[in-house]
């Protein structure tokens, strides 16, 4: 019994790959009853000299396509805490999209469009990335 408990702790304790203060959520693309448009933006700034990141909410959302599941999609979820700031900004905006969809009573999205604005100032060595995501919230047909 003690060996089983120790094995459980070792296996599941070593699987954790993101800091304890992060939240992640996933929603699928799908068709169904349209519940309206949802939109969110996220901006993250990084000083390339120091590596300091400002604006990361540590809340990461992912929009999966059940017909296009890939190994890279799963890898992106696992590596969210160490991804470049553009991927973090997209994940931050997606998290807010998912929250809005669920608030409307939805469980899927369609017509997902994202726009990225990326700026780098060589004098200050500061890069800023702003991502805006818009989608249609959907109550999926089951």
Report pLDDT for 15. Answer: 36
Q: What is the residue-level pLDDT of the chain in tens, covering all 142 positions?
A: 444 333 333 333 333 344 557 889 999 999 999 999 999 999 999 999 999 999 999 999 999 876 665 545 544 554 544 458 999 999 999 999 999 999 999 999 999 999 999 999 999 999 999 999 999 999 987 6
Contact partners, residue 117, CB within 8 Å, separation at least 6: 129, 130, 131
Determine the straight-line distance between the first and last CA of the chain, rounded to whole angstroms.
42
Strand partners, 34: 138
Report pLDDT for 77. Answer: 54
32: left (phi over 0), alpha (psi -120 to 50) or beta: left
In terms of C-beta density within 10 A (0-12 exposed, 13-18 middle, 19 or more buried), how is residue 106 classed?
buried
Report pLDDT for 120. Answer: 94
Angle (nearest 5°) at CA 133 between 107 and 43? 125
Yes or no: say if 141 and 35 are a contact pair by the CB < 8 Å rule.
Answer: no
Report pLDDT for 114. Answer: 94
Report pLDDT for 61. Answer: 95
Structural domains of the chain, with CATH: 23-140 (3.30.110)
Report pLDDT for 7. Answer: 33
Report pLDDT for 22. Answer: 81
Report pLDDT for 72. Answer: 53
């Amino acid at each position: 019994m003690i060996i089983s408990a120790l094995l459980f702790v070792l296996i599941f304790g070593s699987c954790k790959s993101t800091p304890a203060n992060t939240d992640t959520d996933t929603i699928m693309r799908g068709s169904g009853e349209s519940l309206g448009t949802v939109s969110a933006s996220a901006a993250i700034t990084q000083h390339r000299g120091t590596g300091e990141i400002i604006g990361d909410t540590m809340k990461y959302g992912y929009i999966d396509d059940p017909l296009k599941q890939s190994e890279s999609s799963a890898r992106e979820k696992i590596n969210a805490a160490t991804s470049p700031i553009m991927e973090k900004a997209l994940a931050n905006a997606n998290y807010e999209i998912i929250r809005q969809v669920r608030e409307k009573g939805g469980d899927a999205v369609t017509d997902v469009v994202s726009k990225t604005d990326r700026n780098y100032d060589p004098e200050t060595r500061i890069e800023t990335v702003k991502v805006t995501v818009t989608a249609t919230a959907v109550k999926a047909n089951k």
